[in-house]
Amino acid sequence: MTQGPVELNAVLLSSDQVSEALRLCAQRRAGFQQQYPFESRWFRTEDGVQHYVDEGSGPPLLMVHGNPTWSFAWRHLIAGLRDRYRVIAVDHLGCGFSEKPQDESFYVLDRHIARLTGLVRALGLQGVTLFGHDWGGAIGMGCAGRMPDLFSRFVLMNTGAFRSQAIPLRIALCRIPVLGQVGDQGLNLFVRAALWMAVERPLSAAARAGLVAPYGSWQQRIAVHQFVQDIPLNSGHRSYAALCAVEQGLAQFRGRPMQLIWGMRDWCFTPREFLEGFLRHFPEARVERLSDAGHYVFEDAAERVLSVSRQFLQSTDGVV
């Protein structure tokens, strides 16, 4: 018998309900505090305690990051959109300022979706606009697929939410048993390599400090490694069924407002495989192709991403 999706309840926590270790972790913003001045908030599921930010008021925007980033990746959009919208950016379990339990079974697509779904319910969100990047596309669209009446619009960038056989060699190398784990968790190669391989322009010192800050030890990098292991390339993979369900759920959103923003120099979520894949599912989507931006499109073209996002939101406010 096929097992259904996991369901997890989320409980919002006050600061005094969070461990001192997590509070201290969230306060350590040396080198990037001016770029990430947001108040830390927390919620708990059966898997652990997660961190998120919740800024501004108005129609809710839910921002879902990928690997190996965290809510810091959305900082320019949070700051630029909170004047008119309620901007919520979550740190996945094992990422950012969230708890980092060492149980590998927590770091699978189904459970990432279930935890995000629990947060949406706990916050009582409606009319949500989803922003997704990298793994945030599959996780976010998976969440939307489980509660479609709560999601109205989508802004997706350099991501995927459907099956693909495309995996770059440099990612495949990180999946080699033992060797990949030593590189990802021991030497922090995945996080550090992304600082120059995922961008077309050199990152500022503050951006570099923020992107690496949560991943200072073997234990703190468990999610980074497990995300790489969780790419489902065949039907025998632990997350293949979950990704199939995400893909099957896409059709219900055809006709909803969608903005695709793509760094065209991305070697991972390539335009040919993934941007065109989304356009097959959503042929009426708006598309902004950024010819000089890479995978970290929010770094290479921060002002343009903010401008396009704001234009899309303002032109579709009240449409759905």
Provide the residue type at 66 as one letter.
Answer: G
Beta bridge partners of 51: 42
The terminus-to-terminus CA distance of the chain in angstroms comes to: 38
Pairing of strands 60-64, 86-90: parallel
Residues annotated as catalytic are 134, 266, 295
Provide the residue type at 116 as one letter.
Answer: L
Q: Which of 263, 275, 266, 271 is nearest to 304 (CA)?
A: 263
